[in-house]
Structure 1
Amino acid sequence: MANFSEYLPYAFALIIAIPFLVLLRQFVHSYITLKNQEIKLLSVKSNSENKTHSYERMTLFLERMKPSNLIQNFDKKLAVHEFIFLTEKTINEEFDYNSSQQLYITKNSWKNIVDSKNAIIDLLHSTYEELNNNPDLEEFKTVFIMGYMNGDDYIAATIEDLRREILIIT
């Protein structure tokens, strides 16, 4: 039969090590839990920042689409049809560039943005058709702005909707 005293140093070391191992396990568990919470918080913050950034970008897009801003683009020596072509191309390119923002914006707001874009393009074409006597560019721009001002300010309404939504999100 083995002598119990041979195992006494091992038993003593085990008795001393167990509390340290338990404390170490609790520390590691607490550390991992805190790191997971930090990652979740950063993820939520990042998602919120993405949404905020999306609303900012789409507001800027809408501001650029206002007729008062569109008429300042391009050379004053362009023919009206060239101005319409370049303006429509610019609007569509910027819209395509920002189309990924729909991931962060509500469906209703995205629909309003698309409708605003299409309404501006339609207004460009309907103004040109209205002035079928081949107007000069300045006359076209004036009638274009007046056509927008006499109708509903759908761009401002869409921006206001975006503003209300971003206040709810943040």
Structure 2
Amino acid sequence: MSGISSFFTSSFFPYFFAVLLAIPFIVLLRRFVFEYIKMKNQELKMLSVKGNAENKSQAYERMTLFMERLKPANLVSRFDKGLEKHEFLFLTEKAITEEFDYNASQQLYMTKNSWTQIVQSKNAMLKMLHDTYESLSDDAGLEEFKTILLMNYMNGEDFIGNTIDMLRREVLLVT
């Protein structure tokens, strides 16, 4: 008994008693901190999923707008009527390329298939512009160039419309 009674009277007893009382609080604090961290991680995951869906839908919107601007009916009304046909071809090709380059980051949020189809549509339109230009005689004017471009597109496959339809179907699956 003298060992126990000497412990209670020793100078270590208050420290031992403080540690004994602190242990449940430390355990509860530890549990609270881990639960708080777990909840914050779940919140961050939910926010990133929400942001990712918004980024995807915005990417599809931007690329649909790009496809609409790529339609020949919109291209022919873009620049001044006083241009020569080679100037129109250069400015149109430059505008298409710049807008495409500006939107190139959107491929991160799109399926590989949709991005491939967008690239193919852009390239097909550039090819159609060049083919139309090369098919004209030297004395043909800008208005004739624009008319033949529109006719070539109307008589061929509606590759831009098909791409827009595909983007519409995919955006419904994404959102």
TM beyond 0.5:
yes
Following superposition, the deviation at residue 80 of structure 1 comes to 0.9
- Match of 2:72? 67
- 1:3 paired with 2:1, answer no
Following superposition, the deviation at residue 11 of structure 1 comes to 4.3
Could you report, residue by residue, the CA deviation over 1:21-78 in whole angstroms, capped at 9, with x for unpaired residues?
2221211111000011111122222222222222122111111111111011111011
Distance in 2 between the 1:25 and 1:114 partners? 54
Distance in 1 between the 2:89 and 2:128 partners? 10
Number of residue pairs the alignment of both structures matches: 170
**In structure 2, which of residues 24, 28, 32 is the aligned counterpart of residue 19 of structure 1?**
24
Where in structure 1 are there 5+ consecutive unaligned residues?
none
- Match of 1:114? 119
User: What SS class does the counterpart of residue 94 from structure 1 fall into?
Assistant: helix
- Match of 1:57? 62
TM-score relative to the length of structure 2: 0.87
Could you report, residue by residue, the CA deviation over 1:84-139 in whole angstroms, capped at 9, with x for unpaired residues?
11101111111112122222221211111111111111111222233225322222
- 1:137 paired with 2:125, answer no
- Aligned residue type for 1:111: T
User: What SS class does the counterpart of residue 3 from structure 1 fall into?
Assistant: helix
Distance in 1 between the 2:44 and 2:126 partners? 44
Following superposition, the deviation at residue 13 of structure 1 comes to 3.3
TM-score relative to the length of structure 1: 0.90
Where in structure 2 are there 5+ consecutive unaligned residues?
none
Instruction: Single out whichever of 39-48 and 117-126 deviates more from structure 2.
Output: 39-48
- 1:124 paired with 2:138, answer no
Say which one has the larger Rg. Answer: 2
Alignment of 1:78-97 (within 5 A): 78-97=83-102
Alignment of 1:19-38 (within 5 A): 19-38=24-43
CA RMSD of aligned residues (A): 1.8
- Match of 2:163? 158
